[in-house]
Amino acid sequence: MTNRISQNVTYARARYIQMSPSKVQRVLDQIRGKSYKDTLILLEFMPYRSCKVIWSVVRSACANAENNAGLNKANLFINEAYVGKGPINKRFRIRAQGRLTRIQKRTCHITIGVSELNE
């Protein structure tokens, strides 16, 4: 019995999230390839701040698949999950002896693609 992956991949994207891409990447590596139900359970109990944002993107991708492509929610799994760099907001902090140090507030773009698993 072989499982076949359908070619319908439905995406959801969150842009300009003020979070470091490397911190988001460690969570996306854990959920890639998992089923929709397992992903939501995993994200709910992981202790990272990025899980809340990723959870909403996964829910949005599932809603897009259900409403736009007519896919069944029970058969969905995370086909693609990646993060890209966004623009960096540069700020300055005053330090000792009148000096300044630059603080870089990184942003990222999160993309999740869900697909249906056909048997």
What global pTM score does this model have?
0.86
Which fold does the domain 4-118 belong to in CATH? Ribosomal Protein L22; Chain A (3.90.470)
pLDDT for residue 3 is more than 50: no
Region of residue 12 (phi > 0: left; psi between -120 and 50: alpha; otherwise: beta): beta
Domain range annotation of the chain: 4-118
Structure confidence by residue, pLDDT tens digits, 80-114? 999 999 999 999 999 999 999 999 999 999 999 99
